[in-house]
Structure 1
Protein backbone atom coordinates (compact mmCIF):
# COMPACT_ATOMS: atom_id res chain seq x y z
CA UNK A 1 0.00 0.00 0.00
CA UNK A 2 1.27 3.49 -0.82
CA UNK A 3 2.25 5.69 2.09
CA UNK A 4 2.33 9.39 2.86
CA UNK A 5 4.01 11.40 5.59
CA UNK A 6 1.78 12.28 8.56
CA UNK A 7 2.58 14.99 11.09
CA UNK A 8 0.28 15.52 14.09
CA UNK A 9 1.20 18.65 16.00
CA UNK A 10 -0.71 19.78 19.09
CA UNK A 11 -0.35 23.08 20.92
CA UNK A 12 1.90 21.22 23.40
CA UNK A 13 4.24 19.98 20.66
CA UNK A 14 4.67 17.28 18.06
CA UNK A 15 2.60 14.16 18.78
CA UNK A 16 3.50 11.97 15.79
CA UNK A 17 5.57 12.19 12.63
CA UNK A 18 6.10 9.29 10.28
CA UNK A 19 4.75 7.19 7.46
CA UNK A 20 1.04 6.52 7.24
CA UNK A 21 -1.06 4.28 4.99
CA UNK A 22 -4.51 5.71 5.69
CA UNK A 23 -6.07 8.33 7.92
CA UNK A 24 -9.60 9.01 9.19
CA UNK A 25 -10.27 12.47 10.62
CA UNK A 26 -13.14 13.76 12.79
CA UNK A 27 -14.99 16.69 11.21
CA UNK A 28 -18.19 18.59 11.91
CA UNK A 29 -19.95 16.57 9.20
CA UNK A 30 -18.70 13.15 10.28
CA UNK A 31 -15.40 11.61 9.27
CA UNK A 32 -13.01 12.37 6.41
CA UNK A 33 -10.73 9.71 4.93
CA UNK A 34 -7.29 10.26 3.41
CA UNK A 35 -4.96 7.97 1.47
CA UNK A 36 -1.74 8.57 -0.46
CA UNK A 37 -2.28 10.61 -3.62
CA UNK A 38 -5.23 12.56 -2.16
CA UNK A 39 -5.99 15.88 -3.83
CA UNK A 40 -4.83 18.95 -1.88
CA UNK A 41 -7.44 20.22 0.59
CA UNK A 42 -7.80 21.97 3.95
CA UNK A 43 -10.14 20.27 6.41
CA UNK A 44 -11.60 21.71 9.64
CA UNK A 45 -11.26 19.21 12.47
CA UNK A 46 -13.56 18.81 15.45
CA UNK A 47 -12.63 17.10 18.68
CA UNK A 48 -12.84 13.37 18.28
CA UNK A 49 -10.94 10.21 17.44
CA UNK A 50 -8.53 10.27 14.51
CA UNK A 51 -7.43 6.85 13.25
CA UNK A 52 -4.28 6.26 11.26
CA UNK A 53 -2.69 3.08 9.95
CA UNK A 54 1.06 2.44 10.15
CA UNK A 55 2.49 -0.86 8.87
CA UNK A 56 -0.96 -2.43 8.91
CA UNK A 57 -1.63 -1.43 12.54
CA UNK A 58 -4.40 1.08 13.24
CA UNK A 59 -3.67 3.64 15.94
CA UNK A 60 -6.13 6.04 17.51
CA UNK A 61 -5.63 9.50 18.95
CA UNK A 62 -8.10 11.88 20.58
CA UNK A 63 -7.54 15.22 18.87
CA UNK A 64 -8.92 18.62 19.73
CA UNK A 65 -10.27 21.15 17.25
CA UNK A 66 -7.89 22.18 14.50
CA UNK A 67 -7.15 21.93 10.81
CA UNK A 68 -5.63 19.39 8.47
CA UNK A 69 -3.62 20.29 5.39
CA UNK A 70 -3.77 17.39 2.96
CA UNK A 71 -1.46 17.01 -0.07
CA UNK A 72 -0.79 13.93 -2.21
CA UNK A 73 2.34 13.02 -0.19
CA UNK A 74 1.97 14.80 3.16
CA UNK A 75 -0.73 15.49 5.78
CA UNK A 76 -0.28 18.04 8.56
CA UNK A 77 -2.70 18.09 11.49
CA UNK A 78 -2.56 21.22 13.66
CA UNK A 79 -4.77 20.59 16.68
CA UNK A 80 -5.43 22.06 20.12
CA UNK A 81 -4.60 18.76 21.81
CA UNK A 82 -3.63 15.19 21.00
CA UNK A 83 -3.58 12.25 23.37
CA UNK A 84 -3.72 8.50 23.21
CA UNK A 85 -7.06 7.23 24.57
CA UNK A 86 -5.32 4.92 27.05
CA UNK A 87 -3.44 7.92 28.52
CA UNK A 88 -6.59 9.82 29.51
CA UNK A 89 -6.87 10.34 33.26
CA UNK A 90 -10.54 9.61 33.98
CA UNK A 91 -10.48 11.25 37.41
CA UNK A 92 -9.06 14.46 35.98
CA UNK A 93 -11.60 14.44 33.14
CA UNK A 94 -14.46 13.87 35.60
CA UNK A 95 -13.24 16.77 37.79
CA UNK A 96 -13.10 19.00 34.69
CA UNK A 97 -16.66 17.99 33.78
CA UNK A 98 -17.92 18.88 37.25
CA UNK A 99 -16.12 22.25 37.22
CA UNK A 100 -17.52 23.10 33.76
CA UNK A 101 -21.06 22.15 34.78
CA UNK A 102 -20.79 24.28 37.92
CA UNK A 103 -19.56 27.28 35.91
CA UNK A 104 -22.52 26.89 33.54
CA UNK A 105 -24.88 27.19 36.54
CA UNK A 106 -23.70 30.75 37.32
CA UNK A 107 -24.46 33.96 35.50
CA UNK A 108 -21.60 34.85 33.23
CA UNK A 109 -20.74 36.79 30.13
CA UNK A 110 -21.35 35.20 26.72
CA UNK A 111 -17.59 34.66 26.36
CA UNK A 112 -17.41 32.86 29.72
CA UNK A 113 -20.48 30.82 28.81
CA UNK A 114 -18.90 29.61 25.56
CA UNK A 115 -15.59 28.86 27.31
CA UNK A 116 -17.47 26.79 29.92
CA UNK A 117 -19.42 25.01 27.18
CA UNK A 118 -16.18 24.15 25.33
CA UNK A 119 -14.63 22.87 28.57
CA UNK A 120 -17.68 20.70 29.22
CA UNK A 121 -17.65 19.31 25.67
CA UNK A 122 -13.94 18.49 25.97
CA UNK A 123 -14.39 16.77 29.34
CA UNK A 124 -17.33 14.73 28.04
CA UNK A 125 -15.40 13.66 24.92
CA UNK A 126 -12.43 12.61 27.08
CA UNK A 127 -14.70 10.61 29.42
CA UNK A 128 -16.47 8.89 26.52
CA UNK A 129 -13.16 8.04 24.89
CA UNK A 130 -11.63 6.76 28.14
CA UNK A 131 -14.67 4.54 28.72
CA UNK A 132 -13.94 2.71 25.46
CA UNK A 133 -10.33 2.07 26.53
CA UNK A 134 -10.63 0.75 30.06
CA UNK A 135 -7.30 -0.16 31.61
Structure 2
Protein backbone atom coordinates (compact mmCIF):
# COMPACT_ATOMS: atom_id res chain seq x y z
CA UNK A 1 0.00 0.00 0.00
CA UNK A 2 2.85 2.40 0.83
CA UNK A 3 4.44 1.86 -2.58
CA UNK A 4 1.17 2.48 -4.46
CA UNK A 5 0.41 5.62 -2.47
CA UNK A 6 3.97 6.89 -2.94
CA UNK A 7 3.72 6.26 -6.68
CA UNK A 8 0.39 8.09 -6.93
CA UNK A 9 1.78 11.00 -4.90
CA UNK A 10 4.84 11.13 -7.14
CA UNK A 11 2.68 11.19 -10.28
CA UNK A 12 0.57 13.99 -8.81
CA UNK A 13 3.72 15.88 -7.84
CA UNK A 14 5.06 15.60 -11.40
CA UNK A 15 1.75 16.85 -12.81
CA UNK A 16 1.71 19.77 -10.37
CA UNK A 17 5.36 20.56 -11.05
CA UNK A 18 4.61 20.79 -14.78
CA UNK A 19 1.49 22.90 -14.21
CA UNK A 20 3.45 25.27 -11.99
CA UNK A 21 6.19 25.52 -14.60
CA UNK A 22 3.68 26.27 -17.34
CA UNK A 23 2.23 29.15 -15.30
CA UNK A 24 5.69 30.44 -14.46
CA UNK A 25 6.98 30.32 -18.04
CA UNK A 26 3.88 31.30 -20.02
CA UNK A 27 0.98 32.33 -17.77
CA UNK A 28 -1.19 33.63 -20.60
CA UNK A 29 -1.26 30.28 -22.41
CA UNK A 30 -1.53 28.22 -19.22
CA UNK A 31 -4.33 30.44 -17.97
CA UNK A 32 -6.48 29.71 -21.02
CA UNK A 33 -6.64 26.05 -19.97
CA UNK A 34 -8.05 27.25 -16.64
CA UNK A 35 -10.56 29.63 -18.23
CA UNK A 36 -8.46 32.70 -17.45
CA UNK A 37 -7.59 35.50 -19.79
CA UNK A 38 -5.59 38.40 -18.46
CA UNK A 39 -3.69 40.53 -20.94
CA UNK A 40 -2.64 43.08 -18.32
CA UNK A 41 0.81 42.94 -16.76
CA UNK A 42 -0.76 42.85 -13.30
CA UNK A 43 -2.96 39.86 -14.19
CA UNK A 44 -0.07 37.99 -15.79
CA UNK A 45 2.04 38.71 -12.72
CA UNK A 46 -0.66 37.32 -10.42
CA UNK A 47 -1.08 34.23 -12.58
CA UNK A 48 2.68 33.67 -12.78
CA UNK A 49 3.23 34.11 -9.06
CA UNK A 50 0.10 32.70 -7.46
CA UNK A 51 -0.61 29.72 -9.71
CA UNK A 52 3.04 28.67 -9.89
CA UNK A 53 3.25 28.93 -6.10
CA UNK A 54 0.08 26.85 -5.62
CA UNK A 55 1.24 24.02 -7.84
CA UNK A 56 4.90 24.09 -6.81
CA UNK A 57 4.14 24.04 -3.08
CA UNK A 58 1.76 21.13 -3.64
CA UNK A 59 4.35 19.34 -5.79
CA UNK A 60 7.13 19.81 -3.22
CA UNK A 61 4.87 18.67 -0.38
CA UNK A 62 3.72 15.58 -2.29
CA UNK A 63 7.17 14.80 -3.64
CA UNK A 64 8.83 14.87 -0.22
CA UNK A 65 5.92 12.94 1.27
CA UNK A 66 6.23 10.27 -1.42
CA UNK A 67 10.02 10.05 -1.24
CA UNK A 68 10.29 9.92 2.54
CA UNK A 69 6.90 8.25 3.15
CA UNK A 70 6.03 10.91 5.74
CA UNK A 71 2.51 12.04 6.52
CA UNK A 72 3.37 15.34 8.20
CA UNK A 73 4.78 16.97 5.05
CA UNK A 74 1.59 16.24 3.09
CA UNK A 75 -0.63 18.68 4.99
CA UNK A 76 0.16 21.73 2.81
CA UNK A 77 -0.83 19.87 -0.36
CA UNK A 78 -3.98 18.54 1.28
CA UNK A 79 -4.97 22.03 2.41
CA UNK A 80 -4.36 23.54 -1.02
CA UNK A 81 -6.41 20.97 -2.92
CA UNK A 82 -9.19 20.70 -0.32
CA UNK A 83 -9.67 24.49 -0.37
CA UNK A 84 -9.54 24.57 -4.19
CA UNK A 85 -12.14 21.79 -4.39
CA UNK A 86 -14.33 23.54 -1.81
CA UNK A 87 -14.17 26.80 -3.74
CA UNK A 88 -15.23 25.05 -6.94
CA UNK A 89 -18.05 23.29 -5.09
CA UNK A 90 -19.35 26.57 -3.69
CA UNK A 91 -19.13 28.11 -7.16
CA UNK A 92 -21.06 25.17 -8.61
CA UNK A 93 -23.93 25.82 -6.19
CA UNK A 94 -23.82 29.64 -6.28
CA UNK A 95 -23.08 30.32 -9.96
CA UNK A 96 -23.95 27.03 -11.62
CA UNK A 97 -22.16 24.63 -13.89
CA UNK A 98 -20.22 25.22 -17.11
CA UNK A 99 -18.83 22.98 -19.81
CA UNK A 100 -16.26 20.65 -18.32
CA UNK A 101 -16.86 21.75 -14.70
CA UNK A 102 -16.33 18.23 -13.42
CA UNK A 103 -12.81 17.78 -14.84
CA UNK A 104 -10.85 20.08 -12.50
CA UNK A 105 -13.01 18.98 -9.57
CA UNK A 106 -12.20 15.35 -10.32
CA UNK A 107 -8.47 16.07 -10.40
CA UNK A 108 -8.69 17.99 -7.12
CA UNK A 109 -10.83 15.30 -5.48
CA UNK A 110 -8.34 12.62 -6.54
CA UNK A 111 -5.52 14.68 -5.07
CA UNK A 112 -7.44 15.04 -1.79
CA UNK A 113 -8.26 11.32 -1.61
CA UNK A 114 -4.73 10.12 -2.35
CA UNK A 115 -3.13 12.65 0.01
CA UNK A 116 -5.61 11.89 2.81
CA UNK A 117 -5.01 8.15 2.43
CA UNK A 118 -1.26 8.71 2.51
CA UNK A 119 -1.55 10.86 5.64
CA UNK A 120 -3.57 8.10 7.28
CA UNK A 121 -1.15 5.37 6.15
CA UNK A 122 2.36 6.87 6.25
CA UNK A 123 4.30 7.38 9.48
CA UNK A 124 4.05 10.79 11.07
CA UNK A 125 7.49 12.38 11.20
CA UNK A 126 9.19 9.01 11.22
CA UNK A 127 6.98 7.54 13.96
CA UNK A 128 3.86 5.40 13.83
CA UNK A 129 1.08 6.09 11.26
CA UNK A 130 -1.02 9.21 11.82
CA UNK A 131 0.44 9.79 15.29
CA UNK A 132 2.02 13.20 15.91
CA UNK A 133 5.51 13.11 17.40
Range into which the TM-score falls when normalised by the shorter chain: 0.3 to 0.5
Higher helix share: 2
Bigger relative contact order, structure 1 or 2 (CA pairs below 8 A, ≥6 apart): 2
Higher strand share: 1
Query: TM-score, normalization: structure 1?
Result: 0.37
Query: TM-score, normalization: structure 2?
Result: 0.37
